[in-house]
């Protein structure tokens, strides 16, 4: 009977046109479906997550896989999605289905909202789902509210819970550290609980990025296998919990990390979790990544379908050691090279405590008068004169104890009242839970922008995690600190974006310590790692490519590594190209090559790399070479990158079979980005082949010489 019940929406009505949903609840994208139903006890259960079935009515016949959002304190014996202690001390919650609505937001996006209520206590839990049809992505989050007389304590507050039934589960996650980010590890899940999490507070992804693949029945590869790929849009402590129980059932519980975060929820306060963003693929990781890339360009990063500025950054070449004259020369180099922007990095500020190294000055965001006697405005104008834009590095959430800011506001810092301060990179974290600190951090950005009109780009850094975590502002609500900090950060970023909606900005955190879609919606791009050795970068960029689109990944040509500049350039080109190198130290032919390569990238290749579909062809984790390609949406143009990191006596590199082309189109294959005076050694260079041939037979793309690379452009005739 319940299945046929049309739910009347009275309590939850909204001004937009909502449609009271029939049961089962069907949340679908182009290829995927997530289905919920209600059991005989009126509990919401997940019945299906997978490829869409043809006969819609059959969704109603699928048995339960498990309760949709499991609560704690009554009959549940496993990890709960939610746990609450009521103000009478009762620690139980039993959530029953009370209705749902669906709304078509636009041609591509539909929204489903499912309401759950406790029968005894006035507690409501709302499960939200946004389904992105074309991208096959589902975003799911939860709202929790109660109307008890006094606050309740929330100790578990998942964004989302998903259930699976498969014979085996293979989890791929991405571990790392400074300068070695995003290293994939794949393991079979055994019975019990596996947790991927962060407790770092800030720079939260330093050891673990909030992304995972879960392959069902067997490990999946690029083109085959059934899997879920997921990520949490949250710039703080996260937790993915995978619990394999009896009958090979798996539950995923994803959300903010409940670690040290018991939350006192006031009557009528709505507690909104961040979103789990996930996709399902039954043909491997490649499809899942492309789904994420497309979704991110359209919904996940700022201005994802717009252009990007190539840049020259001074960090690697000067460190803290520069002055106006040196920077003016670098600006002129940047212009001569052909980049769109010069980015001034760390070290430009601090007067009482000059920022001559990383020990002092952080927090005092006034131009250092010795290094920059005419201020930032002078450099902005120098850049303008040279026909390029000017960008600036900021790390506004942090402070050195040696700073005027610290002297003035020691209470603005996170630190324990009765223990020694603990420094990381000689600095402390400002207390963004405090609205006054939020005003200050917003003011740092706003002042630098208003006092130096013409600044066209910012790099927002965050170089430490939280330790000795305590806020004097929060007083007896210390367990709110991790959540309030991130909300404080978002409040600042909301203000920045309200005033500067399209200012291009790089998200950075000691390299890739902040790479999540909670923050990326405020940023146009991110810095994946301080490690810019191109061999290392092939692996790091490969790792990020599973979840983040090339247009958002900043790759710079630097002096790290002894490889030829051609190799460095080809590696940096597989994302958003930039430079961080002393051009004065390059030979004339290297300089000419860089100039030509940048022109080729800007005028031709970048469009395919930034907006096209990416196909990973040969993994550096499987061979001593790597290859990947990008194909534009109408399959007219493609760019193929091939790198040889190493070569062993027996290595035999097969023909590289391309992917994603139109089998019926004829493509001219041309090796491009050649170093001056060299000729292509690829037998297919300059010839034309059908997409069918190129995908079935392939091209001899890889060289056998270590530390060499090749770039091919394919144009449909």
Do residues 546 and 229 make contact, with C-beta atoms less than 8 angstroms apart? yes
Residue 180 binds to ligand GLA (criterion: CB under 6 A):
no
Minimum CB–partner distance for residue 509 and ligand GLA (Å): 7
Name the residue with the smallest CB distance to ligand GLA.
346
590 is catalytic: no
Do residues 126 and 113 make contact, with C-beta atoms less than 8 angstroms apart? yes
Q: Which of 68, 37, 30 is nearest to 52 (CA)?
A: 30
Cβ-based nearer residue to ligand GLA, 45 or 330: 330
Site string for ligand GLA, 386-425 (x = CB under 6 A): -------x--------------------------------
Cα separation, 237 vs 588, whole angstroms? 48
The pairing of beta strand 311-313 with beta strand 576-580: parallel
- Per rule CB under 6 A, count of chain residues that contact ligand GLA: 11
N- to C-terminal Cα distance for the chain? 60
Residue 345 binds to ligand GLA (criterion: CB under 6 A):
yes
Cα separation, 171 vs 229, whole angstroms? 10
Residue 543 binds to ligand GLA (criterion: CB under 6 A):
no
Cα separation, 585 vs 554, whole angstroms? 23
Where does this chain touch ligand GLA (CB under 6 A) — which range of 331-339, 494-502, 504-512, 670-678? 504-512
Cα separation, 63 vs 47, whole angstroms? 6
Cβ-based nearer residue to ligand GLA, 389 or 580: 580
Cβ-based nearer residue to ligand GLA, 508 or 586: 508
Minimum CB–partner distance for residue 345 and ligand GLA (Å): 5
Minimum CB–partner distance for residue 319 and ligand GLA (Å): 8
530 is catalytic: yes
Please name the residues in contact with 328: beta carbons below 8 A apart, sequence gap of 6 or more. 379, 382
The three-class DSSP label of residue 461 is coil
Where does this chain touch ligand GLA (CB under 6 A) — which range of 121-129, 370-378, 508-516, 637-645? 508-516
Residue 508 binds to ligand GLA (criterion: CB under 6 A):
yes
Residue 382 binds to ligand GLA (criterion: CB under 6 A):
no
Residue 510 binds to ligand GLA (criterion: CB under 6 A):
yes
Please name the residues in contact with 555: beta carbons below 8 A apart, sequence gap of 6 or more. 528, 532, 537, 541, 571, 572, 573, 574, 575, 576, 577, 578
Burial class of 501 by CB neighbour count within 10 A (0 to 12, 13 to 18, 19+): exposed
User: Quick one: CA dihedral 40, 44, 49, 51, positive or negative?
Assistant: positive
Residue 431 binds to ligand GLA (criterion: CB under 6 A):
no
CA of 581: how far to CAs of 286, 535, 558, 578, in Å? 33, 17, 5, 10
Cβ-based nearer residue to ligand GLA, 345 or 684: 345
Residue 527 binds to ligand GLA (criterion: CB under 6 A):
yes
Q: Return the CA Rg of the chain.
A: 27
Residue 349 binds to ligand GLA (criterion: CB under 6 A):
no
With tokens 């940096």, the residue in question is: 572
**Which one of 101, 461, 670, 671 is in contact with ligand GLA (CB under 6 A)?**
461
**Which one of 511, 534, 620, 660 is in contact with ligand GLA (CB under 6 A)?**
511
Cβ-based nearer residue to ligand GLA, 345 or 671: 345
Minimum CB–partner distance for residue 461 and ligand GLA (Å): 5
Minimum CB–partner distance for residue 422 and ligand GLA (Å): 19
Specify the DSSP class assigned to residue 300: I
The three-class DSSP label of residue 602 is helix
Residue 427 binds to ligand GLA (criterion: CB under 6 A):
no
Residue 212 binds to ligand GLA (criterion: CB under 6 A):
no
Catalytic annotation, pick one of 329, 336, 530, 582: 530
Site string for ligand GLA, 272-311 (x = CB under 6 A): ----------------------------------------
Do residues 560 and 511 make contact, with C-beta atoms less than 8 angstroms apart? no
Where does this chain touch ligand GLA (CB under 6 A) — which range of 201-209, 414-422, 488-496, 503-511? 503-511
Residue 35 binds to ligand GLA (criterion: CB under 6 A):
no
Q: Which of 372, 375, 353, 374 is nearest to 363 (CA)?
A: 353
Site string for ligand GLA, 462-501 (x = CB under 6 A): -x--------------------------------------
Where does this chain touch ligand GLA (CB under 6 A) — which range of 183-191, 267-275, 414-422, 506-514? 506-514
The three-class DSSP label of residue 163 is strand
Residue 322 binds to ligand GLA (criterion: CB under 6 A):
no
Cα separation, 374 vs 366, whole angstroms? 12
Cα separation, 463 vs 459, whole angstroms? 12
Catalytic annotation, pick one of 118, 461, 570, 590: 461
Burial class of 52 by CB neighbour count within 10 A (0 to 12, 13 to 18, 19+): middle
Residues with active-site annotation: 461, 530
Binding site for ligand GLA (CB under 6 A): 315, 345-346, 393, 461, 463, 508, 510-511, 527, 530
């Amino acid at each position: 009977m319940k299945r046929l019940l049309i739910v009347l929406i009275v309590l939850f009505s909204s001004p937009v046109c909502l449609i009271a949903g029939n049961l089962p609840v069907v949340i679908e994208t182009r290829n995927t479906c997530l289905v919920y139903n209600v059991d005989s006890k009126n509990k919401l259960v997940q019945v299906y997550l997978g490829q869409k079935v043809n006969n819609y009515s059959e969704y109603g016949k699928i048995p339960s896989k498990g309760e949709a959002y499991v609560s704690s304190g009554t009959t549940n014996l496993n990890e709960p999605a939610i746990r609450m202690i009521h103000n009478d001390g009762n620690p139980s919650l039993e959530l029953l289905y009370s209705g749902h609505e669906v709304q078509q937001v636009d041609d591509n996006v539909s929204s489903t909202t499912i309401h759950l209520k406790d029968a005894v206590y006035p507690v409501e839990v709302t499960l939200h789902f946004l389904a992105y049809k074309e991208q096959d992505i589902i975003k799911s989050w939860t709202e929790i509210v109660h109307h008890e007389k006094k606050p309740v304590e929330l100790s578990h507050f998942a964004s989302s819970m998903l259930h699976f039934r498969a014979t085996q589960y293979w989890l791929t996650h991405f571990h790392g550290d400074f300068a070695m980010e995003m290293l994939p590890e794949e393991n079979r899940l055994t019975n019990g609980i596996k947790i991927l999490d962060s407790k770092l507070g800030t720079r939260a992804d330093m050891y673990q990025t909030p992304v995972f693949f879960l392959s069902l029945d067997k490990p999946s590869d690029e083109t085959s296998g059934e899997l879920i790929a997921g990520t949490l849009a949250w710039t703080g402590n996260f937790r993915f919990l995978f619990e394999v129980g009896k009958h090979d059932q798996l539950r995923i519980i994803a959300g903010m990390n409940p670690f040290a975060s018991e939350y006192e929820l006031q009557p009528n306060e709505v507690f909104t979790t961040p979103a789990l963003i996930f996709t399902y693929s039954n043909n491997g990781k490649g499809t899942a990544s492309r789904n994420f890339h497309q979704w991110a360009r359209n919904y996940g990063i700022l201005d994802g379908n717009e252009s990007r500025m190539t840049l020259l950054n001074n960090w690697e070449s000067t460190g803290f050691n520069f002055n106006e004259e040196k920077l003016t020369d670098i600006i002129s180099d940047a212009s001569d090279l052909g980049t769109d922007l010069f980015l001034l990095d760390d070290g430009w500020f601090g007067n009482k405590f000059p920022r001559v190294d990383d020990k002092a000055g952080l927090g005092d965001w006034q131009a250092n008068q010795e290094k920059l006697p005419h201020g930032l405005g002078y450099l902005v104008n120098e850049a303008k004169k040279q026909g390029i834009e000017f960008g600036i590095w900021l790390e506004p959430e942090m402070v050195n104890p040696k700073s005027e800011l610290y002297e003035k506001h020691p209470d603005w810092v996170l630190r324990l009242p009765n223990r020694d301060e603990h420094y990381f990179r000689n600095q402390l974290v400002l207390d963004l839970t405090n609205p006054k600190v939020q005003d200050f951090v917003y003011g740092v950005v706003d002042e630098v922008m208003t006092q130096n009109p013409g600044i066209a780009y910012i790099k927002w850094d965050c170089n430490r995690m939280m330790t000795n975590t305590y806020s004097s502002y929060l007083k007896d609500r210390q367990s709110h600190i991790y959540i309030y900090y991130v909300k404080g950060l978002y409040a600042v970023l909301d203000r920045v974006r309200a005033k500067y909606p399209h200012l291009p900005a790089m998200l950075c955190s000691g390299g890739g310590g902040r790479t999540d879609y909670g923050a990326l919606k405020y940023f146009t791009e991110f810095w994946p790692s301080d490690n810019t050795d191109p061999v290392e970068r092939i692996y790091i960029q490969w790792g990020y490519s599973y979840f983040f689109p090339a247009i958002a990944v900043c790759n710079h040509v630097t002096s790290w590594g002894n490889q030829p500049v051609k190799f460095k350039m080809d590696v940096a080109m597989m994302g958003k190209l930039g430079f961080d190198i002393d051009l004065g130290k390059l030979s004339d032919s290297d300089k000419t090559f860089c100039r030509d390569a940048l022109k080729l990238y800007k005028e031709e290749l970048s469009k395919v790399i930034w907006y096209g579909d990416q196909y990973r062809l040969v993994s550096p984790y499987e061979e001593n070479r790597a290859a990947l390609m990008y194909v534009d949406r109408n399959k007219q143009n493609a760019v193929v990158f091939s790198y040889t990191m190493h070569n062993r006596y027996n290595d035999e590199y097969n023909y590289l079979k391309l992917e994603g082309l139109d089998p019926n189109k004829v493509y001219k294959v041309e090796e491009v980005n050649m170093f001056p005076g060299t000729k292509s050694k690829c037998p297919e260079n300059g010839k034309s082949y059908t997409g069918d041939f190129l995908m079935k037979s392939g091209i001899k793309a890889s060289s056998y010489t270590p530390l060499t690379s090749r770039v091919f452009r394919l144009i449909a005739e």
